[in-house]
Structure 1
Amino acid sequence: MSPTAAHLRTIALRWTDLQDALASTGTTAWPPAGRMSDYLNALDQADEELAEAARWQAAYNRQFLDRDPNQIGATRPPLRIAILDTMRTVEAALIATGDQVAAAVQRSPMTFAPRSWPATDRARRDQLARADSVDPRRWRFGGRHTAPHTALWLLARVQGTPGPFRPLPDREARLIANVAAEACERVERALDIAGRTATIAHPCPDCGGQLEMHGGAGVQPVARCTACGRTWTGLDTAA
């Protein structure tokens, strides 16, 4: 399977996961806030300034994040905004790609027979024309398309599935490849099923080097100094 086909299949298959995650109470923030707090607490042992920052963060959490939902003021939104933004962005990009690809490859519907044709031939031709015009494989411009349907429609064009279509030109193939890769990356990032790396603003307490956090894809996040190699896993002692 080509990378483009794999990306499109992932989008289609993972869309229900996004819908399920939309109303959940999890978070897609990266680096994960709780894990970052663990790392910063560990670094606080070597840096009093970080300890002060942690105390300010704890005060903020008590005031704004742990508030009673019945209190007046801002509350957690009913939907996860990051997931919703991902779904809207991906769906819009796929549908726009579908419009452009269909304009390039979709054959016009068969015309109806001229009245000058014999009745039998005209009836047969008109029947074929009607069937061709409503072929479910056709892309409907301005139709109400969903992201999974569009991803599978684009997958069929990439794989050359038979239908009222001309062969996919190289330009449109590259377009699909680029959009599919970007959309798949957004979906995997939103669901936290892809490897992730983030830079931590605080320097290594041992050598002052740059700290990076690695995780995602179900792996426990780990912070590592790029200079001396020291690592932190939650509140574990440095390796």
Structure 2
Amino acid sequence: MNTNTTLRTLITLWPDLHTALGDRPIHGAYGLGLRAYLAAIDHHDPAEAAALRAEERDPSQLGNRPVPLNLAIYDTMRAIEAALAHCAEVTAAAVQIEPVPLPGPDWPAADQARRTAVSRADLADRRRWRFGRSTPPATFTALWLLARVERRPGPFRVLTDVQARYVRAVATEALARAQAALDTDSNRMTELGEQHPCACGGRIEVYGGAGATPCARCTGCGALWTEAGVIAA
């Protein structure tokens, strides 16, 4: 599995981890657009988890109580988020181009406003990785890394072979953790026969089970599907 497909598969599995956690799953979120998707998933944090666990263990609490969180899944999700964020920090430090500097006092006065606007717009570019912030959701980081692997436009240099291998290793480990937590790797793959090829002519593998939404992957173009339709191609 190449790095692109690994990261896309991890994004696809993330709602299943939320479901296994006992949290609110996000269905069909890939098609919402990045801003809406991040807003939808960025609702769960360690403080909230601790509060829920405290309430859940309080013997004096009566009536409806929060659904217990699966702490093993929670730990897996946080570990994946931390690993991906560290990978993005290291990668961004190497490939992210410094913003256009603000004009100095010796800059031509007639061009000061234009240069200032260009500098501020470059600094505010949403494609930039923001250093030193709290750990972002794994899906955000996976999408950012995917854009670097696919050489999407932005203020970045192309990944070197060493950098690309590093991203691949981290993504592979992250996906393995997610699949192990969901138990999708033990009974994960059934290959469809030649009667059901992908539009590109490649073979299709179907995997799922143990709480994960069944998912199909083309071994040729890397397209992914669930029961709802195409997730990524």
- Match 2:69 to one of 63, 72, 79: 79
Q: The residue matched to 2:129 in structure 1 has which SS?
A: coil
Q: Does the 8 Å CA contact 2:151/2:158 hold for their aligned counterparts?
A: yes
Counterpart of 1:159 in structure 2 is 150
How many Å apart are 1:120 and its aligned residue? 2.9
Counterpart of 1:63 in structure 2 is none
How many Å apart are 1:146 and its aligned residue? 1.3
Separation in 2 of the partners of 1:106 and 1:118? 28
Paired amino acid for 1:13: T
Once the two structures are superposed, what CA deviation does each residue of 1:154-178 show, in whole Å capped at 9, x if it has no partner?
0000001111111112221111000
Q: The residue matched to 2:155 in structure 1 has which SS?
A: coil
RMSD of the alignment, in Å? 2.4
How many Å apart are 1:105 and its aligned residue? 0.2
Larger C-alpha radius of gyration, 1 or 2? 1
Q: Does the 8 Å CA contact 2:187/2:209 hold for their aligned counterparts?
A: no
Pair 177,96 (structure 1): closer, same or farther in 2 beyond 3 Å:
same
Counterpart of 1:14 in structure 2 is 13
Counterpart of 1:179 in structure 2 is 170
How many Å apart are 1:5 and its aligned residue? 0.7
Separation in 2 of the partners of 1:183 and 1:119? 51
Separation in 1 of the partners of 2:2 and 2:88? 18
How many Å apart are 1:23 and its aligned residue? 1.4
Counterpart of 1:36 in structure 2 is none
Counterpart of 2:91 in structure 1 is 101
User: Which segments of 5 or more consecutive residues in structure 1 lack a partner in the other structure?
Assistant: 25-68, 71-76, 198-215, 220-239
How many Å apart are 1:196 and its aligned residue? 5.0
- Match 1:134 to one of 116, 124, 129: 124
How many Å apart are 1:116 and its aligned residue? 2.6
Counterpart of 1:195 in structure 2 is 186
How many Å apart are 1:104 and its aligned residue? 0.4
Counterpart of 1:92 in structure 2 is 82
TM-score, normalising length: structure 2:
0.59
Paired amino acid for 1:184: L
Q: The residue matched to 2:105 in structure 1 has which SS?
A: coil
Q: Does the 8 Å CA contact 1:90/1:186 hold for their aligned counterparts?
A: yes
Separation in 2 of the partners of 1:152 and 1:177? 13
How many Å apart are 1:148 and its aligned residue? 0.5
Separation in 2 of the partners of 1:139 and 1:79? 31
Separation in 2 of the partners of 1:121 and 1:168? 34
Paired amino acid for 2:21: L
Deviation >2 Å, runs of 4+: 114-120, 192-197, 216-219
Once the two structures are superposed, what CA deviation does each residue of 1:77-134 show, in whole Å capped at 9, x if it has no partner?
9211221121011111101101100010011111012223333311111100000111
Counterpart of 1:23 in structure 2 is 22
Counterpart of 1:115 in structure 2 is 105
Q: Does the 8 Å CA contact 1:102/1:139 hold for their aligned counterparts?
A: yes
Separation in 1 of the partners of 2:104 and 2:80? 44
Separation in 1 of the partners of 2:208 and 2:72? 18
Separation in 2 of the partners of 1:114 and 1:129? 12
